[in-house]
A and B are shown apart, each in its own frame.
Chain A
Amino acid sequence: MRGTADAVVIGGGVIGASTAYNLLKLGMRDVVLCEKSTFCSGSTGRCGAGVREQWGSKGNCLLAKAAIDRFEQLADELNYPHDLEFKQKGYLMLAHTEKEWDQFQKNVELQNSVGINARLCTPEEARQIVPALNTEGMLGATFNARDGHANPFHVTRAYLTAAERLGADINYFTEVTGIEVSGGKVKSVITDKGVIETPLVINAAGPWAKPVGEMVGVNLPLYTQRHQILVTEPVGWLLDPMVMSFSIGIYCQQTPHGSLVMGIGDPQEPKGYDIGHSWQFLQEMCRIMTGLLPVLKDVRVVRQWSGLYTMTPDAHPILGGVPGLDGYLQAVGFSGHGFMLAPVVGEIMAEMAMGRDTCLDVRNLDAGRFERGEYNVEPSVV
Protein backbone atom coordinates (compact mmCIF):
# COMPACT_ATOMS: atom_id res chain seq x y z
CA MET A 1 0.00 0.00 0.00
CA ARG A 2 1.20 3.48 -0.88
CA GLY A 3 2.10 5.91 1.93
CA THR A 4 0.89 9.02 0.12
CA ALA A 5 -1.99 9.71 -2.24
CA ASP A 6 -3.84 12.52 -3.99
CA ALA A 7 -7.09 10.90 -2.85
CA VAL A 8 -8.13 7.95 -0.69
CA VAL A 9 -11.49 6.33 -1.42
CA ILE A 10 -12.99 4.35 1.47
CA GLY A 11 -15.13 1.45 0.27
CA GLY A 12 -14.80 -1.28 -2.36
CA GLY A 13 -18.44 -1.34 -3.34
CA VAL A 14 -19.74 0.05 -6.59
CA ILE A 15 -19.78 3.68 -5.40
CA GLY A 16 -16.14 3.61 -4.28
CA ALA A 17 -15.11 1.69 -7.41
CA SER A 18 -16.86 4.10 -9.77
CA THR A 19 -15.46 7.09 -7.88
CA ALA A 20 -11.88 5.78 -7.98
CA TYR A 21 -12.12 5.10 -11.72
CA ASN A 22 -13.61 8.49 -12.49
CA LEU A 23 -10.94 10.31 -10.43
CA LEU A 24 -8.24 8.74 -12.57
CA LYS A 25 -10.21 9.28 -15.76
CA LEU A 26 -10.41 13.00 -14.96
CA GLY A 27 -6.67 13.11 -14.45
CA MET A 28 -6.02 12.64 -10.75
CA ARG A 29 -2.73 10.76 -10.52
CA ASP A 30 -2.44 8.91 -7.27
CA VAL A 31 -5.65 7.25 -6.12
CA VAL A 32 -5.75 4.71 -3.28
CA LEU A 33 -8.85 2.65 -2.42
CA CYS A 34 -9.23 0.89 0.94
CA GLU A 35 -11.79 -1.86 1.47
CA LYS A 36 -12.03 -3.67 4.81
CA SER A 37 -13.12 -6.95 3.18
CA THR A 38 -13.06 -7.61 -0.56
CA PHE A 39 -14.98 -6.06 -3.47
CA CYS A 40 -18.79 -6.03 -3.15
CA SER A 41 -18.84 -7.21 0.46
CA GLY A 42 -21.20 -4.54 1.80
CA SER A 43 -24.45 -3.63 0.08
CA THR A 44 -23.45 -3.81 -3.61
CA GLY A 45 -22.93 -7.57 -3.72
CA ARG A 46 -26.18 -8.18 -1.86
CA CYS A 47 -28.47 -5.93 -3.88
CA GLY A 48 -31.33 -6.77 -6.21
CA ALA A 49 -29.31 -5.71 -9.27
CA GLY A 50 -32.07 -3.61 -10.80
CA VAL A 51 -31.52 -0.33 -12.64
CA ARG A 52 -34.45 2.00 -13.25
CA GLU A 53 -35.37 5.53 -14.27
CA GLN A 54 -38.88 5.33 -12.83
CA TRP A 55 -38.59 7.42 -9.68
CA GLY A 56 -40.98 9.72 -7.88
CA SER A 57 -38.65 12.70 -7.35
CA LYS A 58 -37.05 14.85 -10.01
CA GLY A 59 -33.64 14.45 -8.37
CA ASN A 60 -33.71 10.66 -8.43
CA CYS A 61 -35.17 10.66 -11.98
CA LEU A 62 -32.33 12.82 -13.31
CA LEU A 63 -29.62 10.86 -11.52
CA ALA A 64 -31.05 7.51 -12.64
CA LYS A 65 -31.50 8.63 -16.24
CA ALA A 66 -27.89 9.85 -16.40
CA ALA A 67 -26.74 6.59 -14.80
CA ILE A 68 -28.53 4.47 -17.41
CA ASP A 69 -26.98 6.61 -20.18
CA ARG A 70 -23.62 5.53 -18.74
CA PHE A 71 -24.60 1.87 -18.16
CA GLU A 72 -25.36 1.65 -21.89
CA GLN A 73 -21.73 2.58 -22.70
CA LEU A 74 -20.05 0.89 -19.73
CA ALA A 75 -18.85 -2.39 -21.23
CA ASP A 76 -17.03 -0.50 -24.00
CA GLU A 77 -15.68 2.21 -21.76
CA LEU A 78 -14.25 -0.10 -19.10
CA ASN A 79 -12.97 -2.73 -21.57
CA TYR A 80 -13.78 -5.59 -19.22
CA PRO A 81 -13.42 -9.24 -20.29
CA HIS A 82 -16.64 -10.52 -18.67
CA ASP A 83 -20.25 -9.81 -19.59
CA LEU A 84 -21.73 -7.09 -17.36
CA GLU A 85 -25.14 -8.77 -17.85
CA PHE A 86 -26.71 -5.42 -18.61
CA LYS A 87 -30.20 -5.94 -19.96
CA GLN A 88 -32.94 -3.43 -20.70
CA LYS A 89 -36.25 -5.25 -20.58
CA GLY A 90 -37.99 -2.66 -18.43
CA TYR A 91 -39.59 -2.33 -15.02
CA LEU A 92 -43.30 -2.97 -14.59
CA MET A 93 -44.59 -1.17 -11.49
CA LEU A 94 -47.92 -2.52 -10.25
CA ALA A 95 -50.63 -0.40 -8.63
CA HIS A 96 -53.09 -2.16 -6.33
CA THR A 97 -54.41 0.82 -4.37
CA GLU A 98 -56.04 4.12 -5.40
CA LYS A 99 -53.31 6.02 -3.58
CA GLU A 100 -50.62 4.15 -5.48
CA TRP A 101 -52.36 4.66 -8.82
CA ASP A 102 -52.64 8.41 -8.12
CA GLN A 103 -48.93 8.51 -7.25
CA PHE A 104 -48.03 6.63 -10.45
CA GLN A 105 -49.92 9.15 -12.59
CA LYS A 106 -47.91 11.94 -10.96
CA ASN A 107 -44.69 9.96 -11.32
CA VAL A 108 -45.22 9.33 -15.04
CA GLU A 109 -46.00 13.00 -15.63
CA LEU A 110 -42.81 13.98 -13.82
CA GLN A 111 -40.76 11.29 -15.58
CA ASN A 112 -42.05 12.32 -19.02
CA SER A 113 -41.24 15.98 -18.24
CA VAL A 114 -37.54 15.09 -17.81
CA GLY A 115 -37.38 12.85 -20.89
CA ILE A 116 -38.07 9.45 -19.31
CA ASN A 117 -40.48 7.52 -21.53
CA ALA A 118 -42.45 5.66 -18.86
CA ARG A 119 -46.13 5.06 -19.57
CA LEU A 120 -49.29 4.07 -17.78
CA CYS A 121 -50.70 0.62 -18.57
CA THR A 122 -54.08 -1.00 -18.04
CA PRO A 123 -54.02 -4.45 -16.39
CA GLU A 124 -54.53 -5.95 -19.86
CA GLU A 125 -51.53 -4.05 -21.23
CA ALA A 126 -49.49 -5.17 -18.23
CA ARG A 127 -50.38 -8.77 -19.02
CA GLN A 128 -49.18 -8.29 -22.59
CA ILE A 129 -45.80 -7.30 -21.16
CA VAL A 130 -45.75 -10.11 -18.53
CA PRO A 131 -48.15 -12.87 -19.68
CA ALA A 132 -47.57 -14.82 -16.44
CA LEU A 133 -48.87 -11.93 -14.29
CA ASN A 134 -52.00 -12.37 -12.18
CA THR A 135 -53.71 -8.99 -12.55
CA GLU A 136 -56.56 -9.69 -10.13
CA GLY A 137 -57.11 -6.65 -7.93
CA MET A 138 -54.68 -4.56 -9.99
CA LEU A 139 -55.71 -1.04 -10.96
CA GLY A 140 -52.93 -0.49 -13.47
CA ALA A 141 -49.19 -0.35 -13.90
CA THR A 142 -46.39 1.77 -15.28
CA PHE A 143 -43.73 0.52 -17.67
CA ASN A 144 -40.40 1.94 -18.82
CA ALA A 145 -38.51 -0.12 -21.39
CA ARG A 146 -35.14 1.49 -20.64
CA ASP A 147 -34.98 0.09 -17.08
CA GLY A 148 -33.41 -3.28 -16.37
CA HIS A 149 -30.58 -5.17 -14.74
CA ALA A 150 -26.80 -5.42 -14.48
CA ASN A 151 -24.48 -7.75 -12.57
CA PRO A 152 -23.25 -5.85 -9.48
CA PHE A 153 -20.13 -8.01 -8.99
CA HIS A 154 -18.96 -7.54 -12.57
CA VAL A 155 -19.86 -3.85 -12.82
CA THR A 156 -17.90 -3.14 -9.63
CA ARG A 157 -14.97 -5.26 -10.67
CA ALA A 158 -14.99 -3.69 -14.13
CA TYR A 159 -14.57 -0.26 -12.50
CA LEU A 160 -11.85 -1.56 -10.17
CA THR A 161 -9.82 -3.26 -12.89
CA ALA A 162 -10.14 -0.21 -15.15
CA ALA A 163 -8.99 1.99 -12.23
CA GLU A 164 -6.04 -0.32 -11.63
CA ARG A 165 -5.04 -0.07 -15.31
CA LEU A 166 -5.02 3.71 -14.87
CA GLY A 167 -2.76 3.37 -11.83
CA ALA A 168 -5.06 3.02 -8.81
CA ASP A 169 -3.77 1.23 -5.72
CA ILE A 170 -6.65 -1.05 -4.65
CA ASN A 171 -6.27 -2.54 -1.18
CA TYR A 172 -8.58 -5.32 0.03
CA PHE A 173 -8.68 -6.51 3.65
CA THR A 174 -7.50 -3.04 4.63
CA GLU A 175 -9.69 -1.38 7.23
CA VAL A 176 -9.73 2.37 7.78
CA THR A 177 -9.53 2.96 11.54
CA GLY A 178 -9.17 6.74 11.63
CA ILE A 179 -8.79 9.95 9.65
CA GLU A 180 -6.41 12.63 10.85
CA VAL A 181 -7.70 16.19 10.53
CA SER A 182 -5.64 19.24 11.45
CA GLY A 183 -6.63 22.89 11.13
CA GLY A 184 -9.87 21.94 9.38
CA LYS A 185 -8.00 19.96 6.74
CA VAL A 186 -7.74 16.21 6.10
CA LYS A 187 -4.13 15.11 6.56
CA SER A 188 -4.05 11.33 6.48
CA VAL A 189 -6.03 8.12 6.54
CA ILE A 190 -5.07 5.55 9.14
CA THR A 191 -5.60 1.88 8.31
CA ASP A 192 -4.72 -1.44 9.92
CA LYS A 193 -2.02 -1.80 7.22
CA GLY A 194 -0.44 1.63 7.64
CA VAL A 195 -0.99 5.37 7.23
CA ILE A 196 -1.64 7.15 3.93
CA GLU A 197 -0.94 10.88 3.81
CA THR A 198 -3.57 12.52 1.64
CA PRO A 199 -5.28 15.89 1.22
CA LEU A 200 -8.57 14.23 0.19
CA VAL A 201 -10.68 11.38 1.49
CA ILE A 202 -13.96 10.18 -0.02
CA ASN A 203 -16.40 8.32 2.20
CA ALA A 204 -18.06 5.63 0.08
CA ALA A 205 -18.38 3.15 2.93
CA GLY A 206 -22.01 2.17 2.35
CA PRO A 207 -23.50 0.77 5.57
CA TRP A 208 -20.38 1.90 7.46
CA ALA A 209 -20.53 5.48 6.17
CA LYS A 210 -21.82 6.78 9.50
CA PRO A 211 -18.90 5.43 11.57
CA VAL A 212 -16.48 6.70 8.89
CA GLY A 213 -18.12 10.14 9.08
CA GLU A 214 -17.65 10.12 12.84
CA MET A 215 -13.89 9.79 12.25
CA VAL A 216 -13.93 13.38 11.00
CA GLY A 217 -16.61 14.58 13.42
CA VAL A 218 -19.45 14.45 10.87
CA ASN A 219 -22.72 13.14 12.29
CA LEU A 220 -24.62 11.71 9.33
CA PRO A 221 -28.42 11.26 9.59
CA LEU A 222 -28.20 7.64 8.42
CA TYR A 223 -29.54 4.35 9.68
CA THR A 224 -29.11 0.84 8.34
CA GLN A 225 -31.88 -1.70 7.88
CA ARG A 226 -31.87 -5.32 6.76
CA HIS A 227 -33.57 -6.29 3.50
CA GLN A 228 -33.95 -9.97 2.67
CA ILE A 229 -33.68 -11.45 -0.80
CA LEU A 230 -33.54 -14.82 -2.55
CA VAL A 231 -32.49 -16.36 -5.84
CA THR A 232 -33.97 -19.34 -7.66
CA GLU A 233 -32.46 -21.96 -9.88
CA PRO A 234 -32.02 -20.83 -13.50
CA VAL A 235 -35.08 -21.66 -15.59
CA GLY A 236 -36.25 -20.98 -19.13
CA TRP A 237 -37.71 -17.59 -19.99
CA LEU A 238 -40.56 -16.57 -17.68
CA LEU A 239 -40.62 -12.77 -17.73
CA ASP A 240 -38.80 -9.82 -19.28
CA PRO A 241 -39.06 -6.87 -16.88
CA MET A 242 -38.55 -6.36 -13.19
CA VAL A 243 -41.98 -6.67 -11.58
CA MET A 244 -42.31 -4.32 -8.61
CA SER A 245 -45.00 -3.26 -6.18
CA PHE A 246 -44.59 -0.58 -3.53
CA SER A 247 -47.84 -1.28 -1.69
CA ILE A 248 -47.06 -5.02 -1.48
CA GLY A 249 -43.39 -4.20 -1.00
CA ILE A 250 -41.81 -6.67 -3.45
CA TYR A 251 -39.61 -6.81 -6.52
CA CYS A 252 -38.79 -9.77 -8.78
CA GLN A 253 -36.69 -10.01 -11.92
CA GLN A 254 -35.35 -12.83 -14.09
CA THR A 255 -31.64 -12.27 -14.66
CA PRO A 256 -29.89 -12.94 -17.99
CA HIS A 257 -28.52 -16.08 -16.27
CA GLY A 258 -32.09 -17.41 -16.00
CA SER A 259 -32.39 -17.30 -12.22
CA LEU A 260 -35.00 -15.09 -10.58
CA VAL A 261 -33.95 -12.61 -7.89
CA MET A 262 -36.63 -11.24 -5.58
CA GLY A 263 -36.93 -9.38 -2.32
CA ILE A 264 -39.32 -7.77 0.15
CA GLY A 265 -39.11 -4.48 2.01
CA ASP A 266 -40.45 -5.03 5.52
CA PRO A 267 -41.50 -1.75 7.18
CA GLN A 268 -41.37 -3.49 10.60
CA GLU A 269 -37.70 -4.39 10.18
CA PRO A 270 -35.68 -2.94 13.11
CA LYS A 271 -32.77 -0.59 12.41
CA GLY A 272 -29.31 -2.06 12.83
CA TYR A 273 -26.61 -4.21 11.31
CA ASP A 274 -28.32 -7.62 11.46
CA ILE A 275 -27.85 -9.43 8.14
CA GLY A 276 -29.19 -12.79 9.24
CA HIS A 277 -31.98 -14.51 7.33
CA SER A 278 -35.32 -15.96 8.32
CA TRP A 279 -37.64 -18.75 7.15
CA GLN A 280 -40.50 -16.31 7.64
CA PHE A 281 -39.08 -14.28 4.76
CA LEU A 282 -38.95 -17.35 2.50
CA GLN A 283 -42.56 -18.18 3.32
CA GLU A 284 -43.83 -14.62 2.84
CA MET A 285 -41.83 -13.97 -0.34
CA CYS A 286 -42.99 -17.26 -1.90
CA ARG A 287 -46.62 -16.75 -0.79
CA ILE A 288 -46.77 -13.29 -2.39
CA MET A 289 -44.88 -14.13 -5.57
CA THR A 290 -46.71 -17.39 -6.32
CA GLY A 291 -49.87 -15.28 -6.04
CA LEU A 292 -48.63 -12.58 -8.44
CA LEU A 293 -46.80 -14.97 -10.79
CA PRO A 294 -48.38 -18.43 -10.27
CA VAL A 295 -45.89 -19.98 -12.72
CA LEU A 296 -43.23 -19.58 -10.01
CA LYS A 297 -44.72 -22.28 -7.76
CA ASP A 298 -42.65 -25.01 -9.43
CA VAL A 299 -39.40 -22.98 -9.46
CA ARG A 300 -36.91 -23.89 -6.75
CA VAL A 301 -35.28 -21.45 -4.36
CA VAL A 302 -31.52 -22.01 -4.28
CA ARG A 303 -30.30 -19.42 -1.83
CA GLN A 304 -31.41 -16.62 0.46
CA TRP A 305 -29.39 -13.82 1.98
CA SER A 306 -29.82 -10.28 3.15
CA GLY A 307 -28.12 -6.92 2.93
CA LEU A 308 -28.39 -3.46 4.38
CA TYR A 309 -30.12 -0.38 3.04
CA THR A 310 -28.41 2.75 4.34
CA MET A 311 -31.32 5.13 4.68
CA THR A 312 -31.47 8.91 4.76
CA PRO A 313 -34.58 10.75 6.01
CA ASP A 314 -35.69 11.45 2.40
CA ALA A 315 -34.43 8.27 0.64
CA HIS A 316 -32.06 10.34 -1.52
CA PRO A 317 -28.28 10.01 -1.23
CA ILE A 318 -26.04 12.55 0.46
CA LEU A 319 -23.41 13.83 -2.00
CA GLY A 320 -20.69 16.38 -1.45
CA GLY A 321 -18.55 18.00 1.17
CA VAL A 322 -19.07 19.45 4.62
CA PRO A 323 -18.70 23.16 5.45
CA GLY A 324 -15.54 23.91 7.45
CA LEU A 325 -13.81 20.64 6.61
CA ASP A 326 -11.35 20.73 3.72
CA GLY A 327 -10.61 17.51 1.86
CA TYR A 328 -13.61 15.40 2.87
CA LEU A 329 -16.32 14.28 0.43
CA GLN A 330 -19.07 11.76 0.93
CA ALA A 331 -21.31 9.66 -1.32
CA VAL A 332 -23.50 7.92 1.21
CA GLY A 333 -27.06 7.02 2.21
CA PHE A 334 -28.24 5.55 -1.09
CA SER A 335 -31.36 4.17 0.57
CA GLY A 336 -31.41 0.94 -1.45
CA HIS A 337 -30.62 2.35 -4.89
CA GLY A 338 -26.88 2.96 -4.90
CA PHE A 339 -25.96 0.33 -7.45
CA MET A 340 -28.12 1.81 -10.18
CA LEU A 341 -26.85 5.37 -9.57
CA ALA A 342 -23.16 4.49 -9.28
CA PRO A 343 -22.00 5.32 -12.83
CA VAL A 344 -23.12 8.95 -12.56
CA VAL A 345 -22.38 9.35 -8.84
CA GLY A 346 -18.75 8.30 -9.34
CA GLU A 347 -18.44 10.90 -12.06
CA ILE A 348 -19.99 13.62 -9.89
CA MET A 349 -17.72 12.78 -6.95
CA ALA A 350 -14.66 12.95 -9.20
CA GLU A 351 -15.80 16.30 -10.61
CA MET A 352 -16.27 17.65 -7.08
CA ALA A 353 -12.84 16.34 -6.06
CA MET A 354 -11.22 18.07 -9.05
CA GLY A 355 -13.08 21.34 -8.39
CA ARG A 356 -15.02 21.15 -11.65
CA ASP A 357 -18.66 21.85 -12.39
CA THR A 358 -20.66 18.67 -11.92
CA CYS A 359 -22.54 17.05 -14.82
CA LEU A 360 -25.77 17.34 -12.80
CA ASP A 361 -26.54 19.98 -10.21
CA VAL A 362 -26.63 18.03 -6.93
CA ARG A 363 -26.13 20.93 -4.52
CA ASN A 364 -29.54 20.15 -3.00
CA LEU A 365 -28.27 16.66 -2.04
CA ASP A 366 -25.79 18.02 0.53
CA ALA A 367 -25.92 16.84 4.14
CA GLY A 368 -27.15 20.25 5.31
CA ARG A 369 -30.57 19.89 3.65
CA PHE A 370 -32.02 18.06 6.64
CA GLU A 371 -31.18 20.84 9.10
CA ARG A 372 -32.50 23.42 6.66
CA GLY A 373 -35.66 21.38 6.19
CA GLU A 374 -35.18 21.52 2.41
CA TYR A 375 -36.01 17.98 1.36
CA ASN A 376 -38.85 15.85 0.01
CA VAL A 377 -39.19 12.14 0.64
CA GLU A 378 -38.89 9.80 -2.37
CA PRO A 379 -42.21 7.92 -2.53
CA SER A 380 -41.12 5.05 -4.81
CA VAL A 381 -38.95 2.72 -2.74
CA VAL A 382 -39.31 -0.95 -1.73
Chain B
Amino acid sequence: MAKTDDDIIVCRCEDVTLGEIRRAIAEGATTIDEIRRITRAGMGPCQGRTCRQLIASELARKTGKPVAEVWPSTVRPPMKPITMGSLAKIGEEGEE
Protein backbone atom coordinates (compact mmCIF):
# COMPACT_ATOMS: atom_id res chain seq x y z
CA MET B 1 0.00 0.00 0.00
CA ALA B 2 1.34 3.42 -0.92
CA LYS B 3 2.51 5.49 2.01
CA THR B 4 1.15 9.00 2.34
CA ASP B 5 2.01 11.96 4.56
CA ASP B 6 -0.65 10.72 6.95
CA ASP B 7 1.40 7.60 7.67
CA ILE B 8 4.40 9.59 8.92
CA ILE B 9 5.09 8.96 12.60
CA VAL B 10 5.14 12.31 14.37
CA CYS B 11 5.40 11.09 17.99
CA ARG B 12 7.93 8.27 18.06
CA CYS B 13 7.33 7.43 21.73
CA GLU B 14 3.60 6.78 21.34
CA ASP B 15 3.47 5.88 17.61
CA VAL B 16 1.20 8.77 16.67
CA THR B 17 0.94 9.55 12.95
CA LEU B 18 0.50 12.86 11.17
CA GLY B 19 -2.89 11.53 10.05
CA GLU B 20 -4.01 11.20 13.68
CA ILE B 21 -2.78 14.74 14.44
CA ARG B 22 -4.66 16.06 11.43
CA ARG B 23 -7.81 14.18 12.44
CA ALA B 24 -7.68 15.72 15.93
CA ILE B 25 -7.34 19.19 14.38
CA ALA B 26 -10.20 18.45 11.99
CA GLU B 27 -12.30 17.44 15.02
CA GLY B 28 -11.73 20.85 16.58
CA ALA B 29 -8.44 20.75 18.51
CA THR B 30 -6.74 24.15 18.47
CA THR B 31 -3.93 23.57 20.97
CA ILE B 32 -1.02 21.19 21.46
CA ASP B 33 -2.42 20.12 24.84
CA GLU B 34 -5.76 19.12 23.30
CA ILE B 35 -3.96 17.06 20.67
CA ARG B 36 -1.90 15.44 23.41
CA ARG B 37 -5.02 14.57 25.40
CA ILE B 38 -6.69 13.01 22.36
CA THR B 39 -3.75 11.19 20.75
CA ARG B 40 -1.10 10.78 23.51
CA ALA B 41 1.41 12.58 21.25
CA GLY B 42 4.00 14.06 23.62
CA MET B 43 3.05 11.89 26.60
CA GLY B 44 5.84 9.34 26.09
CA PRO B 45 9.32 9.08 27.59
CA CYS B 46 10.76 12.02 25.59
CA GLN B 47 7.85 14.24 26.68
CA GLY B 48 7.31 15.73 23.25
CA ARG B 49 10.83 16.93 22.55
CA THR B 50 10.56 15.79 18.95
CA CYS B 51 6.88 16.04 18.20
CA ARG B 52 5.96 19.29 19.93
CA GLN B 53 7.48 21.47 17.20
CA LEU B 54 6.03 19.31 14.43
CA ILE B 55 2.55 19.50 15.96
CA ALA B 56 2.89 23.26 16.48
CA SER B 57 3.77 23.63 12.79
CA GLU B 58 0.81 21.54 11.70
CA LEU B 59 -1.54 23.49 13.99
CA ALA B 60 -0.16 26.77 12.67
CA ARG B 61 -0.68 25.60 9.10
CA LYS B 62 -4.24 24.40 9.69
CA THR B 63 -5.36 27.33 11.86
CA GLY B 64 -3.54 30.06 9.93
CA LYS B 65 -1.86 31.31 13.11
CA PRO B 66 1.88 31.91 13.47
CA VAL B 67 3.64 29.10 15.39
CA ALA B 68 4.38 31.56 18.19
CA GLU B 69 0.64 32.07 18.74
CA VAL B 70 -0.23 28.39 18.98
CA TRP B 71 -1.13 27.75 22.61
CA PRO B 72 2.08 26.54 24.32
CA SER B 73 2.06 23.00 25.72
CA THR B 74 2.89 22.15 29.30
CA VAL B 75 6.35 20.72 29.97
CA ARG B 76 6.59 18.59 33.10
CA PRO B 77 9.45 17.14 35.16
CA PRO B 78 11.48 15.01 35.32
CA MET B 79 13.38 16.20 32.26
CA LYS B 80 14.35 12.62 31.44
CA PRO B 81 12.96 9.32 32.71
CA ILE B 82 14.45 8.15 36.02
CA THR B 83 13.93 4.76 37.65
CA MET B 84 11.76 4.64 40.74
CA GLY B 85 14.61 2.84 42.52
CA SER B 86 16.92 5.84 41.98
CA LEU B 87 14.25 8.38 42.96
CA ALA B 88 13.48 6.44 46.15
CA LYS B 89 17.07 7.02 47.29
CA ILE B 90 17.20 10.82 46.87
CA GLY B 91 18.62 12.33 50.02
CA GLU B 92 19.93 9.06 51.46
CA GLU B 93 23.40 9.19 52.91
CA GLY B 94 26.08 8.84 50.26
CA GLU B 95 23.60 9.63 47.46
CA GLU B 96 23.48 12.87 45.53
A interface vs B, CB < 8 Å?
Answer: 38-41, 45, 82, 153-154, 157, 161, 172, 231-233, 257, 277, 279, 282-283, 285-287, 289-290, 296-305
Q: Select one of B30, B40, B87 contacting A283, CB under 8 A.
A: B87
Q: Are B81 and A233 in contact (CB under 8 A)?
A: yes
Q: Which residue of B lies closest to A233 (CB)?
A: B45
Residue numbers in A under 8 Å from B30 (CB-CB): 38, 172
Q: Which residue of A lies closest to B46 (CB)?
A: A302
- Could you show 17 A-B contacts with beta carbons less than 8 Å apart? A39-B37, A172-B30, A257-B40, A283-B87, A283-B88, A283-B90, A283-B91, A297-B88, A298-B83, A300-B81, A301-B81, A301-B83, A301-B87, A302-B47, A302-B81, A303-B77, A303-B78
Q: Which residue of A lies closest to B78 (CB)?
A: A301
Cβ of B61 to closest chain A Cβ, rounded Å: 20
Expressed in whole angstroms, the Cα–Cα distance for A156 and B77 within the complex equals: 26
Chain B residues within 8 Å of chain A by Cβ, number: 24
Expressed in whole angstroms, the Cα–Cα distance for A286 and B89 within the complex equals: 9
Cβ of A49 to closest chain B Cβ, rounded Å: 13
> Is B76's CB within 8 Å of the partner chain A?
yes
Q: Select one of A279, A286, A303 contacting B84, CB under 8 A.
A: A286
Cβ of B83 to closest chain A Cβ, rounded Å: 5
Expressed in whole angstroms, the Cα–Cα distance for A82 and B20 within the complex equals: 11
> Is B43's CB within 8 Å of the partner chain A?
yes
Residue numbers in A under 8 Å from B91 (CB-CB): 283
Q: Select one of B33, B81, B88 contacting A290, CB under 8 A.
A: B88
- CB-based closest 8 A-B pairs: A297-B85, A300-B81, A286-B87, A286-B88, A153-B37, A286-B84, A283-B90, A287-B88
> Is B8's CB within 8 Å of the partner chain A?
no
